[in-house]
Structure 1
Amino acid sequence: MFLQVTQLTILLSGGGIGGLTCAIALSEYPDIDVEVYEKNSSFEEIGAGISLWPRAWKILRRRGLEKDLLEQTHTQPEEETAIAIRLMANNAANLHTYDVKGKGAVFSSFHRADFQRVLLKHLPAACKVNFSKHLESYARTADSQIELRFRDGDSSACDILVGADGIRSSVRRCMLAQQALEAGRTYMDQVPCLYAESLLSGVEPQRTGIVLYRAVFPAWKLRTKWPGHAAFKHTIQYQGKVAHLIAYAISRGELINIGIVDFRPDPSTTQGATERLKILCKDWDPEIMAIVDCVEEIKPWIVHVVRPLRSFVHKSVVLLGDSAHAMIPFLGSGAGQAIEDADILATLLGHAIASGRTVSEALVIYDSIRRPFAQEVAQKSEHQGHLYSEIHQSESHERFQDHFIGVGQRMTANLEWTWATTIDGMREQALQMLEESTRA
């Protein structure tokens, strides 16, 4: 457990959305020194589109990022009723649409590289970023610090290590290995130690059996084929019988980002991604095929998730974002949950150090609040995938429209929390719990 301290050194492993957001938030506190360690040699302009719901957007607004982010997107968050997603499907004869909407329901979309550049712009100069630092392991020193060892032979030390290093997190691997080792020592009479084995089962990501094909192409190509296409105004989700497509504009509307989910991939197939795409999209509606026909190169992504962890915290090591709860992307909430993690963690640590309270309590409270919520979002995301599969289970062509609307209403209900709630209550609860913990 930590003693009360007046200065704290925090090292973030991972310079993605969650890690950089957390670094920006922590840097607001003068008594916290922050460093970011990134395994890549630079912040390369890679990746496709990301999406944000109003719940996450309001955090970024509070942190002062809204103006610069608005310059990178064609969607403008509003408080009035907005169409977040246009859901589309077809039966034998007709293309059916259902608009997922509500007051303030805006689905903001960005190119990942554009979003990352805004975060870097707001990262204070005092926050040092170290590249080509792939964490190999860490250990606790005699003075209760954490010594980190990197693949290149270098080392560093900190008071708190934050694992924001993605779904294949090195921090998670080391943390769970240490927990399993301690569990084995505690339950030496149990051979094998089932608790230790259950901890280690969370090290490797779990394959979902879903493949997502991703592509980005210039918007002018779609404008040439279908000048007034709905994808220029709204996020489009099209549900075919064996695959699901999502498309939306990014980079100020200059690019179209698409993802096509293959629900029934054949691991033994020798087909390339382009050939598989033709099979998945066979007989789709012309309005949707106008999007598909613009794709020249598409890349497969085998979707994995992180098994539900027993804790996001072990002593002075803490996980956030995909390293803690990587989820199926059917709610478009992975980035948003990383931002929420970063906001709550930074708020608790900053308040603890500023008020002279023990930061160990702050980490425990972070875990007690964020872990159940993020894992519930992961369950909602999985449920959304099940709803997609129900769209083409209508009893008859004549009743398809009513059935489709019913599924759309259930999908809207599963999404409503993303625009109808904020993180404010969670932040207040976290701070209240921290105050009460020191009086107990």
Structure 2
Amino acid sequence: MAAKNFRVAIVGGGVCGVVCAIGLQRAGIYVDIFEAASKYGEVGAGIGIGPNAILVLRKLGLINDITSFSEEEDPPAVRPFTFRFPPSDAQAVLFQSPAGEDDLTLGMHRASFLDALVKSIDPEFTSTHFNKRCTSITESSGARSSATLHFSDGTTHETDLVLGADGVKSTVRNFVAGEEASKSLIFTNGVAYRGLVSMEKVEEVGVKIEEDVYTIWMGDGVHLVTYPIRNKTILNVAAFVTDFSVPMGYKPLPPGEPWVIPTSREEVLGHFKGWNRDAVKIIESIEQPTKWYVHGLYPPLESFVKGRVALIGDAAHAMLPFLAAGVGQGIEDAYVMSRLLAHPQANASNLENVLKAYDRVRTPRANDISLRSKRCGDIYEGYGPSGPSARGRLADMKVLEPLLDLLFAIDMSLNKFMVQCAATFSPRQISVPSSDRRYLRTITLPPEMIGAFVWARSHSDDLDFEEDWRDWEFLPFDLRPTNGTQYEKLLELIHELVDWSALQESAVDELTPLVPDDPASRHELQQQIVGMLNIVAQDLNAAWPVGKDYSKAQVHCLLIERYCVYYARKIELKTLLRVRAAQHRHRQQLRRRH
């Protein structure tokens, strides 16, 4: 393995920083990790790792190391989410997200997870520096640009590239985002009470826990999350309380106020009066609960990159925890970054371009998950669009069905999505999947659109760029409009590029097996597909004003954007139909049992 001609400094030795370092070292990149603490260690309790992050860990060859090192933790398994409501009934199930056999998740203690990762650090390529708290960053330009880290002990470190993995209170973020960083990091009006309970204690108080299930107990302004960790010997408990009377960020904590403090069981129980016996007993069994004032980046940052400095993990997109996706997004960041920097053409002279590629791919996806997590929390606590009733919550959960499936099923193709990241700066042609190839011709994409393209296409299992991704080059792309293509010719060009009837037939063939075999259901599906195609073609006048000249490349670019919208809608519809079919089968099974 030939070593690269640049070094990377990672600020922060948590999960995301260590995963990124491992990915880089395996590509022959020298790494320096600077950690403010005196040793590696994580604060907190349980951590949920979803299928998308499991794929990354497997791709990096870490999943076996983690599970074999941490014998006290369960291996990855299928763990569906069960949503319980009303809170007065311990057995009431409002909704259960479907989970396929490949939807593997991992529930671990944070400290165990990090300890397992640290074992894979290779000292030949990765040097760790403890007791190094970064206070600022400066950049220099010259024959070879560099960045300099400044530490609280007065020392400095010069490097080619800096990755800020220093968490929610990131110092690196201040360099990347400036004033935006301080404005975006807010107290979210939410408090998380966290604690651990032995499963023996849970059994002693007469509570039965589903072992391979994440349980979310929904209430009004509060909700409770429980799931087993450490070989099902410990129950991880998180009780959330949110003040919806004022907007997020309206009431910041006083300066110097700790974000995590010890608290009493009585304080936690005070928020769950009138709840069912099981939930109350679980809370009463927490020996040393802690109170976390939940902070996040709302609104999200517009960019994770500045020059030769980039953010990953909570430093980039600290989000509310209601999708259990924060760590998973950080692991995705680490994987994308390590793959891009490992590209054969990535070198000391084009690192800023590599970071731009990372930014175009990661910022839209991570920020989208952050906003969806906020919406999930609103629904859990009765402040969703349809209100706090059981019917309203169920309606809102139905809307989230495609999201849940995206997180825990469709992201199974994440590895193929990541492979395409190396193509971000290439103007070469991308062939659409074979199933759509005769409907949408081969298209040349500028970098402005490739992030949206690969995100939408990441939900498909028929991509296969694994063989040729290394041929993609980091090249500048200059879109130069040519004269002569007027608006009147755009419609002709669109119809030349897209066979609408064939696209409709393809969608019908794909989705029909998922609906009941009756005329009404088939007709409803036809209407939904027609609606999706209308979305693809709508607003042409707004997108392409009359009187402006357009190059064919521009038309391709705008057309693929419409296609991405269509494809995302088709995925949501397909997921919804799958969920309905699963629920129908479940109801039939229940009838047969009774």
Please tell me the TM-score bracket, short chain as reference. Answer: 0.7 to 0.9
The 1:276/1:393 distance shift into structure 2, 3 A limit, reads: farther
Question: What's the Cα RMSD here?
Answer: 2.8
Deviation at 1:41, TM superposition (A): 1.1
1:416 aligns with one of 382, 397, 405:
405
Question: Which residue of 2 is the match for residue 229 of structure 1?
Answer: 209
The 1:216/1:374 distance shift into structure 2, 3 A limit, reads: same
Question: Which residue of 2 is the match for residue 84 of structure 1?
Answer: 80
Gaps of 5+ in 2: 246-250, 254-261, 426-471, 478-594
Deviation at 1:360, TM superposition (A): 2.1
The 1:314/1:145 distance shift into structure 2, 3 A limit, reads: same
Gaps of 5+ in 1: 178-196
Aligned pairs (5 A) from 1:3-402:
6-30=4-28, 32-44=29-41, 46-71=43-68, 72=70, 75-77=74-76, 82-90=78-86, 95-97=91-93, 98-103=95-100, 104-126=102-124, 127-141=126-140, 142=142, 143-177=144-178, 199=180, 201-202=182-183, 205-226=185-206, 228-230=208-210, 232-264=211-243, 273-306=264-297, 307-353=299-345, 358-390=350-382, 400=390
Q: Which TM-score applies when normalising by structure 2?
A: 0.63
Deviation at 1:290, TM superposition (A): 2.7
Deviation at 1:438, TM superposition (A): 2.2
The 1:316/1:88 distance shift into structure 2, 3 A limit, reads: same
The 1:262/1:439 distance shift into structure 2, 3 A limit, reads: closer
The 1:234/1:74 distance shift into structure 2, 3 A limit, reads: farther
* Bigger shift: residues 283-292 or 296-305: 283-292
Asked if the contact 2:340–2:346 (Cα under 8 Å) also holds between the matched residues in 1, the reply is: no
- Deviation string 1:193-246 (CA, Å, 9 cap, x unpaired) is xxxx5x3544x621111111111122221122236422x331111012231000
Deviation at 1:93, TM superposition (A): 6.3
Identity of aligned residues (%): 27
Deviation at 1:286, TM superposition (A): 1.6
Instruction: For residue 162 of structure 2, give the secondary structure of its aligned residue in structure 1.
Output: strand
Asked if the contact 2:86–2:92 (Cα under 8 Å) also holds between the matched residues in 1, the reply is: yes
- Deviation string 1:104-126 (CA, Å, 9 cap, x unpaired) is 34442110000001110111122
Deviation at 1:153, TM superposition (A): 1.2
Matched AA of 1:100: S
Q: Which has the higher strand share?
A: 1
Question: Which residue of 1 is the match for residue 591 of structure 2?
Answer: none
Q: Which TM-score applies when normalising by structure 1?
A: 0.84
- Deviation string 1:366-411 (CA, Å, 9 cap, x unpaired) is 0001001100010110111122133899999xx84x5554444334
The 1:75/1:85 distance shift into structure 2, 3 A limit, reads: farther
Asked if the contact 1:83–1:100 (Cα under 8 Å) also holds between the matched residues in 2, the reply is: no
CA distance in 2, matches of 1:395, 1:358: 51
Asked if the contact 2:222–2:381 (Cα under 8 Å) also holds between the matched residues in 1, the reply is: no
How many pairs were matched up? 405
Question: In terms of Rg, which structure is larger?
Answer: 2
The 1:153/1:353 distance shift into structure 2, 3 A limit, reads: farther
Instruction: For residue 175 of structure 1, give the secondary structure of its aligned residue in structure 2.
Output: helix
The 1:56/1:300 distance shift into structure 2, 3 A limit, reads: same
The 1:323/1:288 distance shift into structure 2, 3 A limit, reads: same
CA distance in 2, matches of 1:51, 1:341: 17
For CA contacts below 8 A with separation 6 or more, give which structure has more relative contact order: 1
The 1:88/1:148 distance shift into structure 2, 3 A limit, reads: same
Deviation at 1:431, TM superposition (A): 1.4
Instruction: For residue 69 of structure 1, give the secondary structure of its aligned residue in structure 2.
Output: helix
Asked if the contact 1:352–1:358 (Cα under 8 Å) also holds between the matched residues in 2, the reply is: no
Instruction: For residue 113 of structure 2, give the secondary structure of its aligned residue in structure 1.
Output: helix
- Deviation string 1:133-189 (CA, Å, 9 cap, x unpaired) is 000112223542212110011111110000000011011113334xxxxxxxxxxxx
Asked if the contact 2:12–2:164 (Cα under 8 Å) also holds between the matched residues in 1, the reply is: yes
Asked if the contact 2:14–2:41 (Cα under 8 Å) also holds between the matched residues in 1, the reply is: no
